[in-house]
Structure 1
Amino acid sequence: MADIAIGIDFGTTNSCVCVYRKSALEVLENSDGGRLTPSYVFFLQKPGAPIVGQCAKKMSDMLPSNGIYEIKRFVGKSFNSLKKNLPYYSFDVKNDSGTPVILIERENGTVKLTPQEVCALIFTKLKKDVETKLGHAVSKAVITVPAYFKSIEREVILAAANQAGFTVLKLFNEPTAAALSFYYKKDIRSESYSLVYDLGGGTFDVSVLKKHSNNIDIIGVDGDTNLGGKDFDNLIIDYVCEELAKTYRYNPKKERREIRRLQNKCEEAKIELSTAEQTIIILDGFVPNQRVVTIELSRQQFESRAQSLFERTIKIVDRCLKSSKVPINKINNVILSGGSSRIPKIQEMLSNYFNGKSLTKFVNLDECVAEGAALQAAMLANSCKQKIRKMKMTDVVPLSLGVMDYVNRMHFIVRKDTPIPAENTLQFRTTEDQQTSLRFDVYEGERVEATKNRYLGFLTLNNITPAPPRLCRVLVTVIVDQNGILKIKASEVLRNNSKELNLSYTRGWRSEDEIVSTLVDAEEHEAEDDSFENFAALKEYLLSYCEAVQYNLRFLKLIRKHKAIHDLCENTKNVAVSLGIDKIHEVQSMLAEVQYECEKFAQCYNFECMPPC
C-alpha cells in the first residue's frame, strides 16, 4: 500500500488532503477530526515541537505573536512586496537581505524561520495525519499551486514538501485540478470549453480549458497571487477599526492580540454575509473601559467596500478569455472553486458577465481542488491500488520564449503552444575576437524585435574559450518542466563550461497593457517584423564583417600597414551598433563602403573567419 499517491491542496487559509482508492475519492480527516487543516503553525514559549493545524489556530488567539498563518502569501516573495500587508499580521516579520524572515520569541531564545521552513512544518503535519488515517507510510503526492506561481514560488513549495518527506509527482495548477474533478465526476465526453473561477483564501486563479474525448487542454491562465478571501477580511477589519477610532478613539491595529481576535471576528462576519443580509460583529472585552461593543455590518456595506476587488476578478476573467481567443458564448461551463467564490455578489457579477449563464458549483468548494489533485496523483502513481480511467492533461507554453542577440533580434527557442514539458536548444557563436563571455537576455513574446517582448531575465556564461570571431560555439537550452518552472542553460561546445538559471517565469500572468494585445500585436505587425528581420540580418552582417576584417589585420600583423582600413571598420562598428531600422539605408551604404574598401585586401591576404554571405 506504500505506493499510494495522495493529492494535497496547500491553501493560504486551510489545507486539504484527498486520496483516490477503491474507485472513489476520499477526503482524509486530520487528527482533529476535520476535513480541512488550518494552515497555522504555533510555537509554545517553552522549548518543544511546534503545533500545527486547528490547535495552532486556537492557541494563536491566546498568544498571537507566536502563531504563524497565511504563509503561502510569503512564499517566494521579497520583503518589500509584503510591506503593505504586514500590519494585518500578529507575528514579527523582519527583512533579511531582501527576503522575509519570521521571528518567534521563546524562553530559550529567538527562533528565525523562513517561509519554506514554515511550509515544511505544515506538510509534515499533513503527512503524519494521512499515514495515521491510512495506516501505512505515504510519500508520493501531487501538490496544487496557483497556476501563475513563479518559478521561485514553485521551487519553495517543492523544497518544503521534500523537506517533509514527500516525493512530489507534480505541482498541479489549482484551477486545472478543479476542472479535472468536475470533468471526472460529470464524465463529459463531448468537446466543450470551461472557465474555472478559483477564488481562495489568499490567491485567485482563472483558467480556460478545452475538453475533448479523454483530453483536457489548458488554453489560457491568469490570476493574482495577492487577491483572495483574506483581502475581503482586511476590508472588514479596516471598517471596524474606523468605527472604533471614530466612536471610542481606539485603534486595535496597535495590539497584536486584538488584531488576531479581530481577524477571526471579521472572517466570521464575511462568511455570515454570504447567507444573511446583515450581521453584527460583537467585541467582548475588546475596547478599554467598554464591556461589549457591537458593530453592525450589512451585505450592501461589505459589497460597496469590496466592489473594486470584485471588479478586479472580472477584469482578470475578461483578459484571460481574450488572450485565449475563446468567445464568451463558447464557454459551456463556468466552474466555481475556492471558498471565497461563495460570495453572492461575485456570483452575480460573474453570471452577468456571461450573459446570465448559470454557474457550476461544487458541493464543497473547499475540497474540489484536493479532489482534482488526488485524481491526478492516481493517474501518475501507476499503483494497482489506484486503478483509474486516465485523462490526458495538456498544458502549453502561452507565448514564445527566446533570447536576444546583439542586434536586438529575438531568437525563438521554444515556440508558443508547445506542449509542456517543453525543451529546445539553439546554437550561438561569439561575435568578437578572443571573446570570453556571452550574455543572453531572455524574453517572452512573438515580436522579432526582442525589446518589444516581455523581459524575463538574463544569463551570462563567463570563461568561455578565447577564439577568433564566430569560432566559439555556445548552446542555449530553454526548458519548461511539468511543474511550470523555467530553466535556461548555456553551455560551451568546446569544453565543460556551463551555467544554469531558473527564471521567475509565470505561466499566464501579463501586465495590464500587455495582456490583450500580445498575440494580436504580432499579427498586426507581421510586415514590420519581416522588415526588422531583414534589417537585423543586414546589421549583423555589417558588424561581423568589420570584426572579421580587424581580426585578420591583427592576426597577420597588418594594422600599421593598413591602419586606414582598420579605423574604417572601427568607426563603422561604433556608428552602426546604435542605428535603428529607420536608418536601414545608412547601414546599407556603410556595408557597401566597407566591402568596397576591404574586399581586395580580403582576397589578397586570404582572410579567414569572414561571415558567410
Structure 2
Amino acid sequence: MDDFVIGIDLGTTNSCVCVYLNGKLKILENSDGGRITPSFIFFTSLQETIVGEHAKRMSSGKPDHGIYEVKRLVGRKFSDAYLQKNLQYLPFKVKSDSQGDPLIIIPQRNRTLEKTPQQLCAIILQKLKADAEAKLGQVINKVVITVPAYFNVTQREVTLAAAKEAGFTVLKLLNEPTAAALCYYFDNDCNQTNHSLVYDLGGGTFDVAILKRSPNNIEIVGVDGDTQLGGHDFDNLIVNYVCEELIKEYNYDPRADKDSLRRLHNKCEDAKKALSAVQQTVITLIGFVQNHSCVQIPFTREQFENIANELFRKSISIVDCCMKNCGISKASIKEVILSGGSTRIPKIQKMISDYFDGKALNKFVSPDECVAEGAALQAALLSKNAKQSISKIYLADVVPLSLGTADFVNKMEFIIKRNQRLPTNCCGTDWTGLNNQQTSMTFKIYEGERLNAKRNRFVGQLTLTNITPAPPGECKVKFYMNIDENGILSIKAEELYKNNIKELTINYARGNCSDSEVKNTLLDAEINKEEDICFERFVKLQGYLIKYCVAVMYNLDNKKMADTLRSVYELCQETKSSAENLEMHQVKRVEELTTSIKLQCEPYVTYHNFNAMPILL
C-alpha cells in the first residue's frame, strides 16, 4: 500500500500536524496530548533535546538553553538588520559563522553546542514526525509543509533541507494563506466563480493572498506580505512598554538580564492573549525587582491597541496595496478569510471588517490549526493511498514576471513568459559561442519585461566551463530553465558536442517581488515601449558589428594572415572593443564604425573568400 502523506504547519510560535483519512481531517496530537506543539527546543545539560510545551516551560529557568522563534532566523544573514533587531529580545546567544550565517550557541556542562537554523528546524520536524508516526502506527516519510508566501528561495531551501534531515520527502511547500483558503473551501461549496482574500497573521509573519475560486479550481491572483510582522512583534512592543514602566518606577531594566527577559516575554505574551477576551489585565512580575517581591503593572486593551496601532495599520495597508495591484474592488471580494493566531485580536478584526465596509469575516474555529488542515488536504491531493482519496481541486500559481537570459549585447531572450502556470515545463534554447576557440560561456539570468536585460532585475548567473574550443558560432550549448511546484528556479547549461553539464538553483520565489513591484515592472515596460524599439534597432546593428569583427579576426587567424594584415586585425580588435562599450543613443556611432570597418575589410573578405561572415537581417 502507498504511504500516507501528512500536512505540517511549521510555525514560528507553534507547529501543527494534520492528516486527511477516510474523508475526514484529523489533527494528530503530540505525545503530551496537545493539538499544537510549541516550536520550542530545550537542550539539557545532559545533552538531551526536548521539544514542545515541556521545553517552553523548562526554558524559564535556563533561558539560554531554550531556543525559539527559529523560523525568524531561517535564510537570513547574521548582518540582516531585522535579525539584529530581534536578537535584543532573544535570551540565547547567536553569532556569525564563517559564511556570515547565524549560528545559535547553547552552553552545555563540558562544552558548547553550535546549531544552525536548519538543524534546529530539523529537530522540531523530527519531533513532529515521531509523534505523527506514533499516532498513525506506521512510518511517515512524505509530507506537505507550509511556508509564508513571502519566504524567499533561500528560506524555502533551508526548510526543504531541514525536512530532508528530519527524514521527510517534501512533496510540496505550500504557501500558508493558500493552505488556509484550501481548508476553508473544503468546508464551503462553490457554485460560481468568485474572489476571496486570506488575511494570515501568525506569530512571526504576515501574508495576504487574493484567490480566484471556481467549483474545481483555485487560482492565486496576487500575494503580498511581510516576513517581519507577526504576534511576536506585538509581544516585543508590550515588553518595551513594561521595561519603560520599570525604568521609570524602579530604575530597573530587565532587558539587561536574559533570565528576566525570558520570563517577561512570557508574561507579556500571556497579557496579549488575555486582552483578546477582556478589556484589562495585570502583568504580575514576581522576583524581578530588588526589594520588591511582587510588581503589578495594569495593562488595558486600549493601551495595547495604541502601542500596536502602527503595525495593525501596516497590515491593512498591505491588504490595500495587494487589492489595488490586482485591480480588484472591495465589492468583488466575496469572502474574507482569517487565519493565524494573531487574528484573534479584536482590533485587527474590526480594522479588516471596516476596510471591507463592514463585511462579516470568516473566522476558523481554530486559526492555529487551519493551515495544517489545508496542508493535509494538499497532501491528500498528492497521495496515491486509497484512504486519502479526495475530490480534485486544482491549485494554480503563475510566474509573475518573465524570466530569461541576456545575449552578448544584453538583449533579453525571454524563456519563461509571465503568467505561465507553475510548475513550468522545462524550457530550452540553443546558444552558440561568439568568439573563436571560446572555452566558457556565462548565462546571466534576469526577471522582467524589458528588451534591454540591464533594465530588468538580475537574478543570478551560471558559467559553463571547459566547453569544446571551436570556430565562432559552431559550439552549441542548450540552455534550460525550470520552476518547480515549490517556486524554486533551476537552470542548466549543456554542451551538445559532449557530456558537459552545469546546473544551478537560483534564489527565486514568485520573483522575490511583491505584487506592487510586479505592477511597477509591467508599468515600466508599457511606458518604455518606444525605448525598447530603439534598443532593439541599436543591438541589431551592434551585434552585427561585433560578429563581423570576430569573423574577420577568425578568418585572418585561420588563413594565417593575421601577421601579414596586422593593422586590419588590430583595427577589428579596437572596433569590437568600442562597439561593446557603446550605449543605445549612439546608433550613429555604430553605423559609422560599421561603415569604416567594412571599408577596410571587405576587399579581403571578398578576395580571400572569408567564411562564417554574419548577415545583417
Q: TM-score, normalised by structure 1?
A: 0.96
Deviations 1:175-220 (A, max 9, x none): 1111111111102131011111111111111212111120111122
Give the match for residue 16 of structure 1: 16
Deviations 1:444-501 (A, max 9, x none): 1111111222221222222222222222222221111111111121222222222222
Deviations 1:347-398 (A, max 9, x none): 2332333333332221111111011011111111121111211111111111
Distance 1:428 1:323, change over 3 A: farther
Q: CA deviation at 1:242?
A: 1.5
Give the match for residue 33 of structure 2: 33
**Paired letter, 1:377:** A
Give the match for residue 53 of structure 1: 52
**Paired letter, 1:525:** N
Q: CA deviation at 1:79?
A: 1.0
1:594 corresponds to 2:614? no
Which consecutive residues of structure 1, in runs of 5 or more, have no partner in the other structure?
none
Give the match for residue 217 of structure 1: 219
**Mapping for residues 322-471 of structure 1, pairs under 5 Å:** 322-422=324-424, 423-471=426-474
Which of 282, 287, 290 pairs up with 1:288? 290
1:302 corresponds to 2:304? yes
**Paired letter, 1:65:** D
Deviates further, 145-154 or 191-200: 145-154
Cα contact 1:199–1:205 (8 A) shared by 2: yes
Deviations 1:92-136 (A, max 9, x none): 111112011111111231111111111111111111111222222
Q: CA deviation at 1:512?
A: 9.4
Deviates further, 458-467 or 5-14: 458-467
How far apart in 2 are the matches of 1:374 and 1:269? 32
**Paired letter, 2:446:** Y
Give the match for residue 198 of structure 1: 200
Distance 1:549 1:2, change over 3 A: closer
Q: Secondary structure at the match of 2:246?
A: helix
Cα contact 1:150–1:485 (8 A) shared by 2: no
Cα contact 1:459–1:501 (8 A) shared by 2: yes
How far apart in 1 are the matches of 2:393 and 2:117? 34
Q: Secondary structure at the match of 1:476?
A: strand
**Paired letter, 2:595:** A
Deviates further, 134-143 or 29-38: 134-143
Q: CA deviation at 1:513?
A: 7.5
Cα contact 2:41–2:56 (8 A) shared by 1: yes
How far apart in 1 are the matches of 2:132 and 2:562? 76
How far apart in 1 are the matches of 2:303 and 2:514? 31
How far apart in 1 are the matches of 2:336 and 2:511? 19
Q: Secondary structure at the match of 1:202?
A: coil
Deviations 1:286-339 (A, max 9, x none): 112211112222333322322332232223223333443333332222211111
Q: Secondary structure at the match of 2:284?
A: strand
**Mapping for residues 138-287 of structure 1, pairs under 5 Å:** 138-287=140-289
How far apart in 2 are the matches of 1:555 and 1:288? 89
**Paired letter, 2:489:** L
Q: Secondary structure at the match of 2:478?
A: strand
How far apart in 1 are the matches of 2:104 and 2:495? 42
Cα contact 1:223–1:509 (8 A) shared by 2: no
Cα contact 1:321–1:327 (8 A) shared by 2: yes
**Paired letter, 2:349:** Q
Cα contact 1:222–1:509 (8 A) shared by 2: no
Q: CA deviation at 1:430?
A: 1.8
How far apart in 2 are the matches of 1:524 and 1:353? 32
Q: CA deviation at 1:27?
A: 1.2
How far apart in 2 are the matches of 1:457 and 1:287? 53
Q: Secondary structure at the match of 2:288?
A: coil
Cα contact 2:12–2:70 (8 A) shared by 1: yes
Q: CA deviation at 1:29?
A: 1.3
How far apart in 1 are the matches of 2:163 and 2:246? 42
Q: CA deviation at 1:226?
A: 1.9
Q: Secondary structure at the match of 1:274?
A: coil
**Paired letter, 2:352:** L
Q: Secondary structure at the match of 1:582?
A: coil
Give the match for residue 484 of structure 2: 481
Q: Secondary structure at the match of 1:539?
A: helix
Give the match for residue 557 of structure 2: 554
Give the match for residue 103 of structure 1: 105
Distance 1:287 1:209, change over 3 A: same
**Paired letter, 2:598:** Q
**Paired letter, 2:365:** V
Q: Secondary structure at the match of 1:334?
A: strand
Cα contact 1:3–1:140 (8 A) shared by 2: yes
How far apart in 1 are the matches of 2:9 and 2:163? 12
Deviations 1:423-447 (A, max 9, x none): 3112222222222222222111111
Cα contact 2:212–2:219 (8 A) shared by 1: yes
How high is the sequence identity, in percent, across the aligned residues?
53
Distance 1:242 1:448, change over 3 A: same
Q: Secondary structure at the match of 1:79?
A: coil
Q: CA deviation at 1:524?
A: 2.5
Which consecutive residues of structure 2, in runs of 5 or more, have no partner in the other structure?
none
Give the match for residue 321 of structure 2: 319
Cα contact 2:197–2:335 (8 A) shared by 1: yes
Cα contact 2:43–2:50 (8 A) shared by 1: yes
Q: Secondary structure at the match of 1:286?
A: strand
Q: TM-score, normalised by structure 2?
A: 0.95
**Mapping for residues 569-584 of structure 1, pairs under 5 Å:** 569-584=572-587
How far apart in 2 are the matches of 1:289 and 1:419? 65
Deviates further, 248-257 or 326-335: 326-335
Distance 1:291 1:474, change over 3 A: same
Q: CA deviation at 1:508?
A: 5.8
Q: Secondary structure at the match of 1:521?
A: helix
Distance 1:592 1:146, change over 3 A: same
How far apart in 2 are the matches of 1:364 and 1:118? 26
Deviations 1:44-71 (A, max 9, x none): 1123x30111100110111111111111
How far apart in 2 are the matches of 1:351 and 1:247? 39
Give the match for residue 491 of structure 1: 494
Distance 1:499 1:594, change over 3 A: same
Give the match for residue 518 of structure 1: 521
Give the match for residue 85 of structure 1: 86
How far apart in 2 are the matches of 1:104 and 1:2? 40
**Paired letter, 2:101:** T
Deviates further, 298-307 or 334-343: 298-307
Cα contact 2:401–2:511 (8 A) shared by 1: no
How far apart in 1 are the matches of 2:78 and 2:176? 25
Give the match for residue 611 of structure 1: 614
**Paired letter, 2:34:** G
Q: CA deviation at 1:509?
A: 4.0
Give the match for residue 132 of structure 2: 130
How far apart in 1 are the matches of 2:427 and 2:327? 26
Q: Secondary structure at the match of 1:484?
A: coil
